[in-house]
Amino acid sequence: MVGLKFFPYPAFKESQKVAYERLKTSLENQMHFLLHLPTGGGKTAVALSLSLQTAQEKGLKAIYLTSRHEQHRKPIEEFLKIRQECGLNFYVSSFKSKQTMCPQLKGEEIRDFYEMCKLAKKNKTCAYHLNLSDFDLVLKVIKKIKNEISNPEKLEEKYKFDLTELIYDYSKKSKLCPYEISGFLAEDSILIIGDFYHVFGHHQAEFLKRVGKKLKEIILIIDEGDQLPDRIRGHFSEHLTTFMINASIAQANRFKQNLTQAQIEFWEGYLNRLGDLKTAFEEFCISNLKGKEAKVEKEQFNEILLKYFNLEETIKVFFDAEEIIRNTGKRAYRIAEFLADWNEDKPSYARILHINMGNFVLDHLCLDPAEVASQIINKTYATILMSGSLTPVGAYADFLGFDRTRTEMLELPRSKEDFPIENSLVTFDISVTTWIKRREAQIERIAEHVEGIINNTPGSAIVYFPSYELRDRIAKIMKLKKLTLLEKPEMTQAERSDAIKALCKEAVFLGVLSGKFSRGIDLPGVLKAIIVVGVPVHPPDLFSKLLEEYYSDKFGSKNIGALYAWRIPAINAAIQAAGRLIRTKDDRGVIAFLDGRYLFVRDYYKILPVEYRDYKKVVRDPIPFVRKFWGYQ
């Protein structure tokens, strides 16, 4: 052991030691810490060991957030190792979504779940919730879960990767609500593992109440932190569509038949207002949408709405009606929420009108996640934001509104000692590009190079494309000698598992950058090649333009506007995908970037990690280099 109280390994990795020393100083000074360290560098062990030590010494708690609950595995593994190796008597609680943890509906996709849950508790029809009043039973179950956590070497394998399954199984066996048991366990735990939305969502106060600490008493660890800005944007944006209005009218007509006489008059007024909203919305859309999309202003829509009804009164009626619907266990469409949000003056939001699949869509879109994130992050004892693609780190401090006066930042390369250079071949093919003006002439050459790399690589490979459309065109041309799998926009968990099983044998997976397979796939020793085709630049739509303008104005630079709006997200999506290959020091394989823009566009090149910039091979045909790497010539 290196002699550190909470560090569970006999020695540091090279870059890990630097990160440990810098983070230790930051936490001692109650500073936030942003860390870029490639996958396999030991980020999780560093963040957890120092956070747990600081939490114990100062009476705090640590909350570890991931972008998806599938990513809880790593912090759970590290926590159990720290607990066992260091002889610590700590506990951990793990949260997924309430629906995922519901024993009555687990595995089902129930659109109205949260309304059904609320109604079942109100009407006392959920046995799992009713039994929580048996405090002796609750304490007995929590004691059993703690005993299991106290003996990690005896834990069933599935529980070592997913503690919510442990909580779920013990709770269900005793007819108790697993989500609530996680909450009770959190009160006695030094570490709570959850998803982004638990802290950066609308129900943050409820979650922190379960944790039993205020933000100033929390060390917040955010893994895959480069994903947080977009997640916040999506969570705090609102939409109104033709479908929502029509569906609300149909729903209201169904509900009308089950109302009391006293409610009928109110409901008729609600239906009339919905009809007026439909008329006003169609009038507004037809008047203001001349092409595919248009920037609109609050007053443009409100002027038309005011011809039909008083807006503030209507918002109140819609909220009341939606509450009646939710009280029956059904989900109401968020029309009231949209209108209330739309009626606010928010300079950091964009208002866009467009058509999607024949439906008019009016968006009120969050441009600046810092408006939300800064109000949380800067109230914590300290926040640790980390990722293998958090580069440049200063940009993410700006994206999320970190207080720069109490923020430390560190960007580290992959350690040469821990990840030998000779184990990987990184090529940049400058003979091709997916740039729209040259794409058509490049299709066949791209297909030839992808095919050559795969067919000359012994083992499984993943190819990432910037779009499904380009992927499908190139897939039709290639003649691959391995089982070929195609990513779908909406893959089920079973389909995802089947694809991983196939890769563990030998297969090639053709996916999409920023898709589910470009993150969170951890297959050490399995993958032998990662090919990134093109640069995943977001299509030049109105949202991207407005986002660029917003950041240009906020930071007083057009270059920063373009950098923050689309260049950094594009390159980091590619970096994340490429990071699926080298997961341990024993992994060996080829990383091939097929687009000259990675090197020729200065901002792109500057964002690339040091290990890619310093050890790259610039090629016009990667196939001979791949063959040589694998010893074929």
The residues, ordered by sequence, that sit 6+ positions from 590 with a Cβ below 8 Å of its Cβ are: 424, 425, 427, 453, 457, 528, 529, 530, 581, 626, 629
pLDDT at position 151 is 84
Name the DSSP class of 428: E
Q: State the average pLDDT over residues 445-468.
A: 95
* 168-176 long-range Cβ contacts below 8 angstroms, 24+ apart: 168/101, 168/103, 168/106, 170/141, 170/144, 170/145, 171/103, 171/128, 171/141, 172/103, 172/128, 174/131, 174/137, 174/140, 174/141, 175/127, 175/128, 175/131, 176/128, 176/131, 176/132, 176/137, 176/138, 176/141
Whether 108 has a pLDDT exceeding 70, the answer reads no
Tokens linked to 23: 């983070």
State pTM to two decimals: 0.91
Q: Model confidence at 122, in pLDDT bands (50, 70, 90)? A: confident
Cα diameter, the chain? 86
What are the tokens at 213?
């600490």
Mean per-residue pLDDT of the chain: 90
How many CB atoms sit inside 10 A of residue 234's CB?
Answer: 11
User: Tell me: the pLDDT tens digits for 570-596?
Assistant: 998 898 888 888 877 888 999 999 999
Q: Is the pLDDT of residue 1 over 50?
A: no
- Report pLDDT digits (tens) over 563-576: 999 999 899 889 88
Q: Which structure tokens are listed for 492?
A: 């089920």
> Is the confidence at residue 109, as pLDDT, over 60?
no
Residue count of the chain:
633
DSSP H/E element including 17: helix 14-28
Beta strands in 180-237 (DSSP E): 191-195, 218-222
Per-residue pLDDT, averaged over 138-159, amounts to 87
Pairing of strands 589-594, 424-429: parallel
pLDDT attached to residue 106: 57
Q: What is the pLDDT of residues 390-401, one digit of tens each?
A: 989 999 999 999
**Distance from CA of residue 472 to its chain's centroid?**
26
User: pLDDT higher for 210 or 302?
Assistant: 302
State mean pLDDT over 418-430. Answer: 86
What pLDDT, on a 0 to 100 scale, did the predictor assign at position 213?
Answer: 93
Within a 10 A sphere around the Cβ of 163, how many other Cβ atoms? 26
The Cα–Cα gap between 500 and 526 comes to 10
Q: What is the mean pLDDT of residues 329-349?
A: 92
Beginning with the edge strand found earlier in the chain, give each strand of the sheet holding 407-411 in spatial order.
92-94, 191-195, 61-66, 218-222, 382-387, 32-36, 407-411
Average pLDDT (13-34) is 94
- Close Cβ partners of 161 (under 8 Å, ≥ 6 residues apart): 73, 76, 77
Q: Average of pLDDT values for 329-334?
A: 83
Token look-up 């759970």 returns 76
| Contacts with 267 (C-beta within 8 Å, 6 or more apart), sequence order | 252, 255, 256, 259, 321
Q: By percentage, how much of the chain surpasses pLDDT 90?
A: 64
At residue 387, the pLDDT reads 92
Nearest in space to 436 (alpha carbons), one of 513, 515, 534, 532: 534
- Residue 519 confidence (pLDDT) above 80: no
Query: Could you tell me the two tokens for 421?
Result: 């250079």
Bond preceding residue 524 cis, omega within 30 of 0 = no
Report the C-alpha gap between 335 and 540 in whole angstroms: 29
How open is the CA angle 238-240-242, to the nearest 5 degrees?
160
Residue 202 clears pLDDT 90, i.e. is over it: no
Residue with tokens 């108790």: 176
Higher pLDDT, 45 or 260: 45
Identify which has the larger pLDDT, 387 or 257: 387
Residue 3 has pLDDT above 50, yes or no: no
**Spatial distance between the Cα atoms of 589 and 523, rounded to a whole number of angstroms:** 13
Question: Which H or E run includes 287?
Answer: helix 261-288
Looking at per-residue pLDDT, the higher value among 97 and 427 belongs to: 427
Residue 473 scores a pLDDT above 90: yes
pLDDT of residue 413: 84
The mean per-residue pLDDT over the stretch 368-372 comes to 97
Residue 2 pLDDT: 47
Q: Are 393 and 314 in contact (CB under 8 A)?
A: no
Pick left, alpha or beta for residue 255 (phi over 0 → left; psi -120 to 50 → alpha; otherwise beta): alpha
> pLDDT class for 111, splitting at 50, 70, 90?
low
376 vs 420, more confident? 376
Q: Which of the pair, 117 or 34, is modelled with greater confidence? A: 34
d(CA 199, CA 205): 8
How far, in Å, CA of 388 to CA of 390, rounded?
6
